[in-house]
């Protein structure tokens, strides 16, 4: 139990001061109004495009899979054509 208290006191002394200063810098009251507006605009933009991005990414994945299958088929057919020519 003694190790836990010493480790606990180490974390409290080391991290509490550094984390407190970091969190104080990024409090809502300390951030400028322009930064808050930019964060809000970015969030709105991402929230608007997210319903469009997911179906587009699925569509691109399906197209990529279809293209790979077509390329495999052409390789197989070209191989078969070469075999027929040799016979």
What confidence score (pLDDT) does residue 41 get?
95
DSSP conformation class of 49: H
What confidence score (pLDDT) does residue 30 get?
81
What confidence score (pLDDT) does residue 81 get?
66
Three-state SS for 32?
coil
Residue 14 in tokens: 């080391």
Residue 78 to residues 31, 65, 66, 67, Cα–Cα distance (Å): 64, 20, 18, 16
Low pLDDT (below 50) residues in the chain:
1-2
What confidence score (pLDDT) does residue 2 get?
47
What confidence score (pLDDT) does residue 72 get?
65
């Amino acid at each position: 139990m003694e190790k836990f208290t010493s480790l606990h006191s180490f974390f409290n002394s080391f991290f509490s001061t550094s984390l407190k200063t970091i969190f104080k810098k990024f409090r809502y009251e300390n951030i400028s109004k322009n930064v808050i507006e930019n964060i809000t605009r970015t969030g709105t933009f991402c929230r608007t495009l997210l319903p469009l991005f997911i179906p587009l990414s699925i569509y691109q994945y399906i197209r990529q899979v279809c293209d790979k299958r077509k390329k495999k088929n052409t390789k197989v057919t070209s191989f078969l054509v070469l075999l027929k020519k040799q016979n």
